[in-house]
């Protein structure tokens, strides 16, 4: 995950923003507790959102407390902790390390090599504690690299692969509304993969890095952008529909903000820069 699942802060009520921050800080505290100080640099908004999403669907035992950290030395910050914040902190390491390995596979940069060495021990700890989740993720990474090596241009298939991986990795913590949540995770995973590929298209073109959209982009930009926009719109409609079907107990404003407003605006903003180029 790479940080696209972030609410539109300006549209959150004050108390909703405080709730969001308390979960974000909660995942960060769990990262430090389980993995040490340095892995907190890998913290993603995506995992904070998933912790809130799963917490919102059931009467979860959540501890509300305060914490003082190195970034906020003089003032304690409110945090929320539960089984989902702990799980997502651990999964943050899994997905972040996977992203590092993907960058290393695609670019072989010194930054990726250094990051891989720094966080290797943290990743091994996750492997020991979550063998089934790690196996699912490693299968995904192996399949991804095989498809990349074959210069796969089917970004929809690659998005579905990532969406299914989210479902498989989060399977053990899904206790309510499992069918709906699996469908939502599948759609979100497809959106994240597609929007990331689209966002990086120009940069990948300059670096000659792998991007499943690159070949079609170089041949016919107008057609590709139109097709990608149609696909993204269908995913956004599916996500909104699934949101309306969910029985949300808490944090409904945050969930609505992200699933129905934020990712729509993020999609439009990224598409807009390509429309300008055209």
H-run or E-run covering 72: strand 72-81
Kindly report the number of other CB atoms within 10 A of residue 14's CB atom: 7
Closest by CA position to 49, among listed 77, 10, 18, 88: 88
Is the pLDDT confidence value at 278 over 80?
no
Quote the pLDDT of residue 277: 57
Say what angle helices 120-129 and 110-118 make with each other, to 10 degrees. 50
The tokens describing 105, both together, are 């596979």
Q: Check residue 247 and give its pLDDT.
A: 95
Least confident of 11-15, 152-156, 172-176: 172-176
Q: Helix, strand or coil for residue 164?
A: helix
Which candidate, 85, 163, 88, places its Cα nearest to that of 130? 88
- Cα gap 62→193, rounded to integer Å: 31
Confidence of residue 72 (pLDDT cuts 50, 70, 90): low
pLDDT band at 270 (very low <50, low <70, confident <90, very high): very high
Residues 6 or more apart whose Cβ sits within 8 Å of residue 234: none
Position 76 scores a pLDDT of 85
The predicted pLDDT at position 103 comes to: 78
pLDDT at 219 over 70: yes
pTM: 0.94
Q: Evaluate whether 23 touches 52 at the Cβ level (below 8 Å).
A: yes
CA 27/CA 47 separation, integer angstroms: 8
In the predicted structure, residue 1 carries a pLDDT above the cut 90: no
Q: Dump pLDDT digits (tens) for 161-206.
A: 999 999 999 999 998 999 999 999 999 999 999 999 999 998 888 8
Beta-carbon neighbour count of residue 194 at 10 Å? 22
CB under 8 A, 24+ apart: contacts of 12-16 = 12/253, 12/254, 12/257, 13/253, 16/251, 16/253, 16/254, 16/257
């Amino acid at each position: 995950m790479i940080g696209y699942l972030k609410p539109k802060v300006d549209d959150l009520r004050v108390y909703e923003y405080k709730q969001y921050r308390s979960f974000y800080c909660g995942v960060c505290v769990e990262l430090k507790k389980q993995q040490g100080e340095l892995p907190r640099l890998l913290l993603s908004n995506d995992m904070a959102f998933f912790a809130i999403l799963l917490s919102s669907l059931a009467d979860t035992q959540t501890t509300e407390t305060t914490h003082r950290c190195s970034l906020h030395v003089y003032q304690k910050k409110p945090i929320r902790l539960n089984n989902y914040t702990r799980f997502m902190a651990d999964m943050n390491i899994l997905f972040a390390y996977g992203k590092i390995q993907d960058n290393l596979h695609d670019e072989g940069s010194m930054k990726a090599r250094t990051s891989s060495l720094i966080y290797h021990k943290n990743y091994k700890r996750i492997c020991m504690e979550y063998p089934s989740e790690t196996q699912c993720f490693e299968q995904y990474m192996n399949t991804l690299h095989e498809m990349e090596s074959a210069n796969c241009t089917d970004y929809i298939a690659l998005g579905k692969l990532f969406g299914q991986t989210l479902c498989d990795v989060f399977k053990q913590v899904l206790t309510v509304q499992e069918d709906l949540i699996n469908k939502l995770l599948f759609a979100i995973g497809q959106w994240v993969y597609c929007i990331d590929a689209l966002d990086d298209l120009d940069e990948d073109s300059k670096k000659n890095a792998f991007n499943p959209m690159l070949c079609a982009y170089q041949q016919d930009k107008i057609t590709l952008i139109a097709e990608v926009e149609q696909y993204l719109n269908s995913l956004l409609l599916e996500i909104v529909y699934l949101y309306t079907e969910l029985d949300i107990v808490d944090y409904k404003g945050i969930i609505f903000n992200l699933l129905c407003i934020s990712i729509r605006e993020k999609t439009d903003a990224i598409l807009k820069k390509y429309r300008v180029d055209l």
